[in-house]
Amino acid sequence: MAFVVAEPCIKCKYTECVTACPVDCFREAELFLVIDPETCIDCGACVPACPSEAIYPERDLPPQWRHFAARNAELAPRLPPITVPRDPLPDAAEWRIPGKGRWRRIGDKERAS
């Protein structure tokens, strides 16, 4: 069972988790990161490294974020790996708020769902 990046990462994209991951399972979308479940070895090293507290074991995802497991699995094969940390998004601190789940990335566009 893989770990999953959930809603708190959206529009923040802190990358401390990337440094903690021993197998390079993180993939980078424009506004958030995902974990490739095929690469993740379930070590949990990324969890304490995430300042947004956005990473969960799949079995422990809060009910409102369970759909992020499928979203990570769907997006990971199409996204480039991220193996070095980068600066968070410029307004990341402003987006450390609940209720961001209405935002979804679809292709190159963003829209509220």
Query: What are the tokens at 14?
Result: 């802190």
Nearest to 25 by CA among 93, 77, 95, 87: 77
3-state secondary structure of 35: strand
Summarize pLDDT for 87-113 with one digit per residue, the tens.
988 888 777 776 665 554 433 333 333
CATH topology of domain 3-83: Alpha-Beta Plaits (3.30.70)
Q: With bands split at pLDDT 50, 70 and 90, how would you rate the model's confidence at 36?
A: very high
**Overall average pLDDT of the 66-72 stretch:** 96
- Between 25 and 1, the more confident residue is 25
Query: What are the tokens at 91?
Result: 């307004």
pTM: predicted TM-score of the whole model, two decimal places: 0.84
Give pLDDT, residue 112: 36
Give pLDDT, residue 102: 57
